[in-house]
């Protein structure tokens, strides 16, 4: 059963596409595949892009070395939930480059709630939430060339990014915490009887 998320139905989503903001949020550990993301991003020639990386972990220094002097890559470290919410709303796309089988990363639904599409590794539970071409894109885990091509295509096509963002905002509605709770209660009732 998928997880649920609290939704704000009154929220109006508006994004700026002059600079394309790409967001990674999560642990800075090798299994999360952030290396793949930075490697892909550094191959992009556009100056109107930024990569925001939040989180901490034992792999942080290696990732900073890989980023080098690329001023388009911003490490935010640990951020509060309010700061993260602002980044979700600012982002034009989020990336989950995991190398291992994650079940159902909350980052996907948190991004969708902000109208932010997600590019994710086609592994584990990620493709169960991301519908390729509707609310995001999928790529082979660890394939920095494929990820670069997807990023390049979306950066040069803000209308497609906007369309995917609309799909993301629609997709998250089926994960509403109130519906999730009802289904969970029904499941417990079924098991109990």
**In CATH, what number does 20-192 get?**
3.40.50.2000
Does residue 9 carry a pLDDT above 80? Answer: no
pLDDT 10s digits, 12-50: 678 999 999 999 999 999 999 999 999 999 999 999 999
| Stated pTM of the model | 0.91
State the angle between helix axes of 60-67 and 34-42 in degrees (0 to 180), rounded to the nearest 10.
10
Contacts of 144 (CB under 8 A, 6+ apart): 36, 39, 40, 43
Comparing CA positions, the residue from 132, 97, 102 lying closest to residue 117 is 132
Q: Where are the alpha helices (DSSP H) in the chain?
A: 34-42, 60-67, 81-90, 106-113, 126-129, 144-155, 158-171, 177-192
pLDDT the model gives residue 12: 66
Comparing CA positions, the residue from 191, 175, 185, 193 lying closest to residue 6 is 175
Query: CA distances (Å), 10 to each of 2, 13, 117, in order?
Result: 24, 10, 19
Domain positions in the chain are 20-192
Whether the Cβ atoms of residue 121 and residue 110 lie closer than 8 Å to each other: no
Spatial distance between the Cα atoms of 138 and 131, rounded to a whole number of angstroms: 8
- At 69, give phi and psi (nearest 5°): -95, 15
Query: What is the pLDDT confidence band of residue 174, given thresholds at 50, 70 and 90?
Result: confident
Spatial distance between the Cα atoms of 32 and 45, rounded to a whole number of angstroms: 24
Comparing CA positions, the residue from 55, 17, 13 lying closest to residue 37 is 55
Does residue 117 carry a pLDDT above 60? Answer: yes
């Amino acid at each position: 059963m998928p997880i649920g998320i609290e939704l704000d139905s009154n929220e109006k989503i508006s994004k700026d596409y002059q600079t394309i903001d790409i967001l990674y949020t999560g642990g800075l550990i090798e299994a999360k595949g952030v290396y793949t993301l930075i490697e892909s991003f550094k191959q992009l020639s556009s100056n109107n892009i930024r990569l925001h990386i939040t989180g901490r972990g034992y792999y942080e220094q290696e990732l900073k070395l890989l980023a080098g002097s690329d001023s388009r890559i911003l490490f935010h470290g640990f951020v509060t939930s309010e700061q993260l919410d602002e980044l979700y709303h600012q982002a034009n796309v989020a990336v989950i480059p995991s190398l291992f089988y994650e079940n159902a990363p909350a980052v996907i639904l948190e991004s969708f709630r902000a109208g932010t599409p997600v590019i994710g590794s086609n592994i584990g539970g990620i493709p169960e939430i991301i519908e390729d071409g509707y609310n995001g894109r999928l790529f082979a885990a660890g394939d920095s060339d494929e990820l670069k091509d997807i990023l390049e295509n979306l950066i040069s096509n803000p209308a497609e990014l906007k369309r995917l963002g609309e799909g993301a905002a629609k997709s998250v509605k089926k994960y509403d915490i109130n519906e999730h709770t009802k289904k969970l209660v029904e499941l417990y009732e079924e098991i109990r009887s």
